[in-house]
Amino acid sequence: MMDFNKLCPALPKVELHAHLNGSLSRSTLLELKRYNADTGVTDTSDAFLDEFQIGAGDTRNLSDCFQVFNIAHRLTRTPGSLALATTLTLKEFQDDGCCYIELRSTPKETPFMTSRQYIETVSETLRSNAHLAIKSRLIVSINRNSSIKEAEAISELTISCYKQYPDVIVGIELSGDPTIGQFDDFVPSLIKARCAGLKITLHCGEVCNPKEVLQMLRFRPDRIGHGVCIHPNFGGTQETWDALCKFQIPVDR
């Protein structure tokens, strides 16, 4: 009889939708807490680790999920903790049989590092782990909660860092709470990144919003994420489904 507990980790896998701060395991969170304590950084996460994990049957809603991300962000406020989180996450994906991964993360300005240092830290960490069996790349995220000015700044920063790390940074994405912000507001920043050679991926169809879904699909991103509310049987419309099929845009998780 086939042992699926051994087979599944052994199968080679590609991970195209891994948010760095959403991929931290319980053991990684503990390592980060220890690291911050050892380096004198105050732990402001103010949460039990069980609160971080959301599994089948969990009754928390979409807004609660984004609050969970904040726990991880508070534990990765320094270059050292961010590098540690990135390294441990890469190794865990590798142990699970992943041979290629695209990590995603929104650059954070903290008391310990700038947004540029954030991107540079993740990029340098991916480079320094090039010896691993897993191949890793970075997609820089624009959060929908950002202002137009903030989105423009992230786009320009990503373009600059892309020139610095062309072997690491592969794209830019729009993600975050789908009930916040308007897609139109972010289009100029995304176009600027696209013209600089960066690939575009969008969180699309996470909630029922056919008008915005159509706008996103007609923008012709290189990929979209989730897409659960595009088919007419699941909160979308025939028009949104036809557009996805017509443009043949790949959908990741």
Residues marked as catalytic = 206
CA angle 199, 201, 203 (to 5 degrees): 170
Residue 43, strand partner residues: none
- In 3D, which of 227, 193, 175 has the Cα closest to residue 22? 175
Report residue 79 CA to chain centroid gap.
18
- Scanning the chain, the segments in alpha helix (DSSP H) are 4-10, 26-38, 62-75, 79-95, 115-128, 148-164, 183-195, 210-218, 238-247
- Count helices and strands (H / E) in the chain: 9, 7
Q: What are phi and psi of 128, to 5 degrees?
A: -70, -15
Do 172 and 146 meet the contact criterion of CB atoms below 8 Å apart? no
Do 239 and 214 meet the contact criterion of CB atoms below 8 Å apart? yes
Report residue 10 CA to chain centroid gap.
25
CA distances from 20 to 23, 122, 135, 173 (A): 5, 10, 15, 14
